[in-house]
Structure 1
Amino acid sequence: MSIVVKSVCKALERIAPLRLAESWDKVGLIIESPVPRSDAKRVVLTIDLTTAVLEETLKVPTALVITYHPPLFQPITSLTLANPLQASLLKLSAAGTSVFCPHSSLDATWGGINDWLAEGVMGLQKATGKVDILGEVKGEAGGAGRIVTLDEPIPIEELVQRVKKHLVLSQVDVGRPLVQKSIKSVAICAGAGGSLLSGVDADVYFTGEMQHHEVLGAVARGRYVMLCGHTNTERGYLPILAKKLLDALSELVRDESPDGLSPEERIEIGKYQLDIHISEADRHPLDRM
């Protein structure tokens, strides 16, 4: 394994330990290139490994692509160029680029995507509310979702404005219950939150997408539902991840603990000036027209 890939994988483990991932998830090093390039100092961050992201990545020698969503999710019996997603992995591997996926471990970790979404809910009330884990608590490192309890209730219109500003969106979809009320609690799940949010005692379900009947059921039980588009609840976190990654890599260079790098590896990676690049081709797959 190249020193860049090894170092970044160790840094990511410190940021979002893979043990926090859901049991159904496919996380970690998905593809390790057998022909790593010694001149590759770029690490690309993206939500999805699309064809556009592939083409962007191949323009510059790249050691590793960190794709939030797993490019391989279902079991496969072959790996061919006929399948666009598989073709992307094959082409990256041939170009000396490995692929890593953090997915639900990055949702669950403290300071991860769900906490970032909670910041948008809190707005200026960050000091007068609290954030708790929603779902399974996984030790001191985090848990699946979040629930925000505000000290002072706010109207749904205020919450919508806070979220749109945080996610840089002009529109979101809101399901309203028959009886309107002020908002005191918000249940949060990045991406697709239907299964995690179902039955949760909160005034609002805030996620990227839910199935039609999940929305109907939630609204019938008196909940507001706020849907922002699956990847719109995730992509804005990438600049934060980039900074965390640089900080964790710097820590690895200084750290002499057993789970860190060897003295030789610390010296070698310390010579690199890694380019942490947030993909410019990565975008939400749907347009509102």
Structure 2
Amino acid sequence: MFPSVLHKAGPPAWQRLLKVMQEIAPLELAAPWDNVGLLLDCPDETQWASFDTTKKMRLFFCNDLTEQVVEEVIARKADCVITYHPTPFGKMNKITRHTHIGRVMLSMLTNRIPVYATHTSFDCVTGGINDWLLSAFGSNIVADTVLPVEGLKGNPNPAFGFGRVCDLEKPLSIDDAIGVVKAHTKLPHLRLGEPMNANISKETKTISRVAVCAGSGGSVFKGYRGSKVDLFISGEMSHHDVLELNQNGAYVLLCEHSNSERGFLPEVARRIGEKMGPDYSVEPLISEVDRDPLRVA
């Protein structure tokens, strides 16, 4: 993307927000197939020119910008949407009312509400979504990157990349590890894949080394199959990926795709509020409608 270009247009508050987004989730870290950054550039310039320390900018945070979430955005009078997953995600040849993405974009444009997506730029940055997911096991954990960013010229930090892996300060039972993840993500249910080796059981195997990847972890964990990781945590993985890890003696814990990501939104809102500085005040609006499309029936 082109952050230097994006910062040159619009009122100072708008320019400042775009600069902050680039600081906390650098666009150059995103995967080449991803659609991140400013997706819909339609701020109400009169409104944005009026923001200061007394008039708060209402920033709306969601994981997926669905039609139902758009209704909430409008009802809560948001000034900008910051979504984790891009909408649109892939290439669009036309924007019409005949597709749900078309209706989403037309509604946002009509109401002059800009859309900014972070996705894999927040996956790869240090302190991003994967570090948040891993922090379920403690705030002082030192983690390594599972899959470093490749092809980034002048990569300022070799720790940038997808997924995280770490050694726990104190081994846990699998039941305790499940409880930790449930508490951190605020999820009542998770899916568990168990080792298939007859010599491994809850009583004999403890969790000392953990790997995480928010969203979909199958390809990210590929290089760690057969390694000494005891527990792999992700949103979703294919049947065969889970089977292989279980055959190699590891546990797999799945939250569902967006459930492994959504809990990070309040942290994003907090960081933006801090980074906007003393000249602006932010009112964060965390979506109450946004949810994973799958549930336990």
Distance 2:146 2:178 in 1: 21
Give the aligned partner of residue 135 of structure 1: 147
2:168 to 136, 150, 167: 150
Give the aligned partner of residue 260 of structure 1: none
Q: Does 1:190 align with 2:214?
A: yes
- Residue 37 of structure 1 deviates from its aligned partner by 5.2
Q: Does 1:284 align with 2:292?
A: yes
Which of the pair is proportionally richer in helix? Answer: 1
Q: Does 1:210 align with 2:237?
A: yes
Give the aligned partner of residue 83 of structure 1: 99
Give the aligned partner of residue 237 of structure 1: 264
What runs of 5+ residues in structure 2 fail to find an aligned partner?
A: 1-8, 49-56, 150-154
What runs of 5+ residues in structure 1 fail to find an aligned partner?
A: 254-269
> For residues 210 and 85 of structure 1, do their structure 2 counterparts lie closer, same or farther at Cα, with a shift above 3 Å needed?
same
Give the aligned partner of residue 259 of structure 1: none
Distance 2:178 2:78 in 1: 39
Work out whether residues 67 and 103 of structure 2, in 8 Å CA contact, stay in contact via their aligned partners in 1. Answer: no
* 3-state DSSP of counterpart to 2:82: strand
Distance 2:233 2:281 in 1: 39
Distance 1:77 1:39 in 2: 31
The amino acid that maps onto 1:77 is: N
Q: Does 1:227 align with 2:254?
A: yes
Give the aligned partner of residue 39 of structure 1: 47
How many residue pairs were aligned? 265
Over residues 235-264 of structure 1, what are the superposed CA-to-partner deviations in whole Å (9 max), with x where a residue is unaligned? Answer: 1111111110011111xx6xxxxxxxxxxx
Distance 1:214 1:114 in 2: 20
- Please, what TM-score do these two structures have when normalized by structure 2? 0.83
* 3-state DSSP of counterpart to 1:38: helix
Q: Does 1:114 align with 2:130?
A: yes
Over residues 224-244 of structure 1, what are the superposed CA-to-partner deviations in whole Å (9 max), with x where a residue is unaligned? Answer: 111011111111111111110
Work out whether residues 110 and 142 of structure 1, in 8 Å CA contact, stay in contact via their aligned partners in 2. Answer: yes
- Runs of 4+ in structure 1 deviating by more than 6 angstroms, as ranges, are none
Distance 1:205 1:54 in 2: 34
Distance 1:95 1:288 in 2: 35
